[in-house]
């Protein structure tokens, strides 16, 4: 059973239900509900979402296409732009992601889970877990009528996000980052400026004295705008009502002030509130224990600068689905499957963590950042390509995260697979898998580690024959 119907929970439940297993998903809210995290990566859109079978629905939803990002950052006085298509892994028709209203995106994924056989129950809040002989074996929850219930399951996956009530039951502490202790204050505007095509849907990130701003065009009219402040600037939040604080901060960042010079803040409905989030960069000491696993933000989250949250959450959901599917099939024991889960999820998290540390050093220009990206992922590609690969979610070694384009030839596929065997890019494999419907090979991460099965939905021992 899965706790939480965000992108992590709906991805995991769909990928397990599609193997014929019974899955119950309990979600506290009734969708649509507001959530932050609107800028997606190509690995999510063309990898995970294709595996889930929502490609057409997303394409028909009118989401803004995001071809890359524009930064006013580092030593460059002028804004500079990167494009996902620079990376061969994301070139061609898969060289974009979407900027999404999470109310719509999360509902698409949750409804899709329901339509794929998951028993989805909204307005059902999990309040505790059941344990027997050291194993987690179910949860307690309040149902939509407020009645306290218990339900038992072979596995409990906590995908209830950063506010999880049950993650502590995994053991170990949630360790908050010493480096990223930022606070975000954000709201929504209509009438913000748009760059000419093809840059119209790009995210813009602009640094200023107290931190940096995101500017995410969600539609022709609506823009999500947020200031991410260093902890020292916390006192600014006490300067007055939050809408005035946000206005004041915008005035201090010339690029964003200019983009919003003719805009108005939305003051009604789900976008009418100025919100604050803090203490959001952390990692749990353990990701699993017998009978229970943490998925997505319940396990970890790192600063939003590279929009990695939904990618990490949905990618971890794929890894957790493989672990649960394999354990239920009985081919490999639970401990080995979840050790694999944790190792791969931590590796992907570390890529973003390590690169973010380098990127927050503002005494560099864009070329230096590109070189840092190449060094972090150990890529043989050029520095600029490595940057696009990393921030596109293709820095790991997953075949299903790249190359879904019809033009993605067998030749190119073979070439990329050969590369993927040699180097470190997990994300790319999930896209190849999504397109070709089968796994194209994998290497163990560590001695005794597992590899993905040919169907991409289980683990196998490296020496195990294909099944
Ligand atoms: P969530 O999306 O949090 O979903 C968890 C679900 O669990 C919710 O629906 C919640 O209602 C439900 N739930 C909670 N408690 C219970 C309970 N007890 N019982 C049942 N259900 C429960 N990510 C990006 O990809 N791009 C971005 O641009 C981006 N910007 C961000 C900006 C900021 C300031 C922050 C803080 C984060 C940002 N993120 C971004 C990260 C993104 O918000 C998360 O990583 C992402 O939503 C994680 O998905 P999830 O499914 O793990 O959790």
3-state secondary structure 260-322: CCCCEECCCHHHCCCEEEECCCEEECCCEECCEEECHHHCEECCHHHCCHHHHHHHHHHHHHH
Instruction: Find out whether the beta carbon of 125 lies less than 6 Å from any atom of ligand 1.
Output: yes
Query: Taking the C-alpha atoms of 187, 79, 367 and 96 in order, what is their torsion angle to the nearest 10 degrees?
Result: 60
Instruction: Find out whether the beta carbon of 9 lies less than 6 Å from any atom of ligand 1.
Output: yes
Please give the Cα distance from 455 to 457 (Å, whole number): 5
Atom from ligand 1 closest to the CA of residue 124: 20
Ligand 1 centroid from CA 76, angstroms: 33
> What pLDDT sits at residue 417?
55
- 408 versus 264: the higher-pLDDT residue is 264
Please give the Cα distance from 402 to 435 (Å, whole number): 9
Token code pair at residue 204: 């813009």
Mean pLDDT to the nearest integer, 159-183: 93
Ligand 1 centroid from CA 85, angstroms: 28
Instruction: Find out whether the beta carbon of 187 lies less than 6 Å from any atom of ligand 1.
Output: no
Quick one: angle between helices 7-17 and 102-115, nearest 10? 20
Instruction: Using CB atoms within 10 Å of the CB of residue 354, give its burial: 0 to 12 exposed, 13 to 18 middle, 19+ buried.
Output: middle
Please give the Cα distance from 154 to 135 (Å, whole number): 10
Instruction: Find out whether the beta carbon of 37 lies less than 6 Å from any atom of ligand 1.
Output: yes
Which among 300-304, 325-329, 363-367 has the top mean pLDDT? 325-329
Is the pLDDT score of 465 beyond 80? no
Please give the Cα distance from 419 to 50 (Å, whole number): 23
Q: Which of 10, 34, 36 to mutate to test the pocket of ligand 1 (most atoms within 8 A of CB)?
A: 36
Please give the Cα distance from 248 to 257 (Å, whole number): 10
CA distances from 78 to 2, 70, 135, 199, 363 (A): 46, 10, 56, 16, 15
400, 434 contact by CB (below 8 A): yes
Lowest mean pLDDT, pick from 116-120, 147-151, 231-235:
231-235
Is the pLDDT score of 467 beyond 60? no
Is the pLDDT score of 411 beyond 70? no
Atom from ligand 1 closest to the CA of residue 10: 51
Atom from ligand 1 closest to the CA of residue 186: 34
Ligand 1 centroid from CA 35, angstroms: 6
Is the pLDDT score of 405 beyond 60? no
> What pLDDT sits at residue 406?
38
> What pLDDT sits at residue 427?
55
Nearest of 232, 255, 256, 258 to residue 246 by alpha carbon = 256
CATH 3.50.50.60 in the chain, residues?
Answer: 2-63+100-175+280-399
Mean pLDDT to the nearest integer, 97-108: 98
Confidence of residue 238 (pLDDT cuts 50, 70, 90): confident
Q: What count of Cα atoms within 13 Å lies in the side-chain half-sphere of residue 233?
A: 19
> What pLDDT sits at residue 424?
41
Confidence of residue 463 (pLDDT cuts 50, 70, 90): confident
pLDDT digits (tens, 9 = 90+) for 418-438: 554 444 445 555 655 665 555
Contacts of 296 (CB under 8 A, 6+ apart): 4, 6, 7, 8, 9, 159, 161, 312, 313, 314, 316, 317
CATH 3.30.9.100 in the chain, residues?
Answer: 180-279
- % of the chain residues with pLDDT over 90: 78
Q: What SS3 state is found at 247?
A: helix
Q: What SS3 state is found at 181?
A: coil
Average model confidence (pLDDT) for the chain? 91
Instruction: Find out whether the beta carbon of 301 lies less than 6 Å from any atom of ligand 1.
Output: yes
Q: Which CATH number fits domain 2-63+100-175+280-399: 3.50.50.60, 1.10.579.10, 1.20.1440.60, 3.40.30.10?
A: 3.50.50.60
Instruction: Find out whether the beta carbon of 310 lies less than 6 Å from any atom of ligand 1.
Output: yes
Going by their DSSP bridges, the two strands 203-208 and 275-278 should be labelled as unpaired
* 25 DSSP β-pair partners: 2, 120
Nearest of 381, 383, 384, 374 to residue 354 by alpha carbon = 374
Instruction: Find out whether the beta carbon of 42 lies less than 6 Å from any atom of ligand 1.
Output: no
pLDDT digits (tens, 9 = 90+) for 359-402: 989 899 999 999 999 999 988 889 999 999 999 998 876 776 76
Global pTM exceeds 0.90:
yes
> What pLDDT sits at residue 227?
97
pLDDT digits (tens, 9 = 90+) for 305-325: 999 999 999 999 999 999 999
Structure-token match 């997505």, residue found: 296
CATH placement of domain 180-279: 3.30.9.100
Q: What is the ipTM of this complex?
A: 0.99
Phi, then psi, of 36 in degrees rounded to 5: -90, 160
């Amino acid at each position: 059973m899965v706790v939480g119907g965000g992108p992590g929970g709906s991805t995991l439940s769909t990928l397990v239900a599609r193997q014929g297993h019974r899955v119950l998903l309990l979600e506290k809210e009734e969708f649509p509900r507001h959530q932050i995290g609107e800028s997606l990566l190509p690995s999510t859109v063309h990898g995970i979402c294709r595996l889930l079978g929502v490609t057409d629905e997303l394409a028909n939803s009118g989401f803004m296409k995001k071809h890359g990002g524009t930064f006013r950052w580092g030593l460059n006085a002028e804004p500079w732009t990167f494009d996902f298509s620079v990376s061969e892994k994301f070139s061609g028709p898969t060289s974009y992601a979407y900027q999404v209203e999470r109310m719509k995106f999360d509902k698409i994924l949750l409804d899709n889970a329901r339509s794929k056989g998951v028993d989805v129950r909204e307005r059902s809040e999990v309040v505790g877990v059941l344990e027997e002989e050291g194993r987690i074996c179910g949860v307690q929850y309040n149902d939509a009528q407020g009645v306290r219930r218990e339900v038992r399951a072979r596995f409990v996956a906590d995908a209830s996000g950063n506010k999880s009530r049950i993650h502590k039951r995994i053991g170990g502490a949630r360790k908050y980052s010493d480096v990223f202790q930022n606070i975000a204050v954000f709201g929504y505007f209509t009438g913000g400026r748009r760059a000419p095509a093809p840059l119209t849907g790009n995210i813009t990130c602009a640094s200023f004295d107290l931190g940096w701003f995101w500017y995410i065009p969600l539609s022709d009219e609506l823009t999500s705008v947020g200031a991410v402040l260093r902890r020292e600037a916390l006192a600014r939040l006490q300067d007055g009502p939050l809408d005035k604080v946000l206005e004041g901060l915008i005035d201090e960042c010339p690029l964003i002030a200019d983009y919003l010079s003719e805009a108005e803040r939305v003051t009604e409905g789900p976008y009418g509130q100025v919100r604050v989030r803090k203490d959001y960069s952390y990692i749990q000491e353990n990701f699993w224990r017998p009978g229970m696993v943490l998925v997505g933000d319940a396990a970890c989250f790192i600063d939003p600068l590279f929009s990695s949250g939904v990618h990490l959450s949905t990618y971890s959901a794929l890894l957790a689905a493989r672990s649960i599917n394999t354990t239920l099939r009985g081919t490999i024991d639970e401990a080995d499957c979840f050790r694999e889960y944790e190792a791969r999820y931590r590796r992907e998290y570390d890529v973003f963590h390590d690169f973010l540390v380098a990127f927050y050093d503002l005494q560099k220009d864009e070329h230096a950042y590109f070189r840092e990206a190449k060094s972090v992922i150990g890529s043989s590609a050029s520095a600029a390509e490595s940057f696009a690969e990393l921030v596109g979610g293709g820095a790991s070694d997953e075949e299903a995260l790249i190359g879904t384009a019809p033009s993605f030839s067998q030749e190119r596929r073979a070439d990329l697979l050969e590369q993927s065997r040699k180097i470190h890019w997990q994300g790319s494999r999930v896209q190849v898998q999504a397109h070709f419907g089968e796994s194209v090979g994998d290497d163990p991460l560590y001695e005794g580690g597992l590899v993905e099965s040919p169907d991409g939905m289980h683990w196998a021992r490296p020496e195990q024959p294909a099944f």
